[in-house]
Amino acid sequence: MTQEIYSPGLEGVIAGETAISTIAGGLQYRGYSIEDLARGATFEEVAFLVLHGELPKQAELNAFRQRIAAASKAPAEIIETLGKIPKGAPMMDVMRSGASLLAHWDPDVADNSHAANLRKAERLVAQLPIVMAARHRLASGQQPVAADTSLSLAGNILWMLSGKKPSPRSVKAMDVSLILYAEHEFNASTFTARVTCSTLSDLHSSITAAIGALKGPLHGGANEKVIDVLAEVGSPEKAESWVRAAMARKEKIMGFGHRVYKTGDPRAVYLKTLCGELAAETGNQAMEQMADTIERIVVTEKKIPPNLDWPSARLYYYLGLPVSLYTPLFVLSRVTGWSAHVIEQLDNNRIIRPRARYTGPGPRKFVPIEKR
């Protein structure tokens, strides 16, 4: 009899195969290191790579940008609905609803073919930023700003949120953050998307389910908690005493540690430099000093390196973005990876249906209600 193996949280369990990304030897998207992509590519190039399998040639990139531009609008009914959602609704709930609503107006919603799913994925890359920006402005008592198709995806996000043309460094910072968040193997939200579509459900349902998984503070919501940490510290002078007191209380410091990166998250290493540059441009050197002190002590004394949430939260803060948008920004990037995994799953599908280890009572005899 084969012995059943149980791994809590499926840690270390190989649950499928993928050609999209790997974390072995550093994070790679389709064979390209994340450092090379962040240094030399745009988010549009990376989105094309993740979805289509290869880096685009110039003509392919131009055509991709044209398709994104053509899709950079949302039905008026969706914008109207976004304005009617209760003002206090969490933005991630709005993003989840927005992804679901977009399905009703997508001409390919019922078509699960490879080509149709690529078309739907590209439209979501263009439309989810509109959902986020429009809701943010409507909840703030402002009218939505239409997409400027002359801008990059990163530039357009900043433009639609503020109505102001962003600086080149701000656009670069947003672009790199989108690249770094685009894909990450079988994480919780990606696995959720694959489980959903493995039943032959549609791409929009899979993305909606993935957003629900990302909402949790142990996954996408962690970057919001990083700013809470830095706000609690307050100043560079208090950083060392704060972190030592937190460690003495054995408190978990958000932004540090990762299930699979035991020696350091390569995305965090790359983004740290960009954080420093943006902090200097925006006058946020004090926060960067706080972060450096906390990071140095945690890494030196606890041997726990930072993950991507640690620098990305600061980056968004330096860009002047409200904390409520931090995890939704993750959605705008990761929709590329989620969609690629849905397409890959459906191209060679088998329903994902694991077993459970039963821990309940043994066989019992049924007793009629009048004798209980």
Q: Which residues does the annotation mark as catalytic? A: 258, 309
For the chain, the farthest-separated pair of C-alpha atoms sits apart, in whole angstroms, at: 78
What distance in Å separates the CA atoms of residue 151 and residue 134, rounded to the nearest whole number? 17
- Cβ neighbors of 292 (< 8 A, separation 6 or more) are none
In this structure, the number of other CB atoms found within 10 A of the CB of residue 282 comes to 17
Q: Is 250 exposed, middle or buried (0-12, 13-18, 19+ CB in 10 A)?
A: exposed
Q: Which helix (H) or strand (E) covers residue 28, if one does?
A: strand 28-29
Supply φ then ψ for residue 28, to 5 degrees.
-130, 140
Tokens for 95?
A: 């993003």
Q: Are 281 and 169 in contact (CB under 8 A)?
A: yes
Could you identify the residue written with the tokens 């929009």? Answer: 204
What distance in Å separates the CA atoms of residue 211 and residue 273, rounded to the nearest whole number? 29
What distance in Å separates the CA atoms of residue 159 and residue 153, rounded to the nearest whole number? 10
What distance in Å separates the CA atoms of residue 95 and residue 132, rounded to the nearest whole number? 7
Tokens for 196?
A: 């959903």
73-to-45, 168, 176, 214, 330 alpha-carbon distances in Å: 21, 24, 24, 24, 20
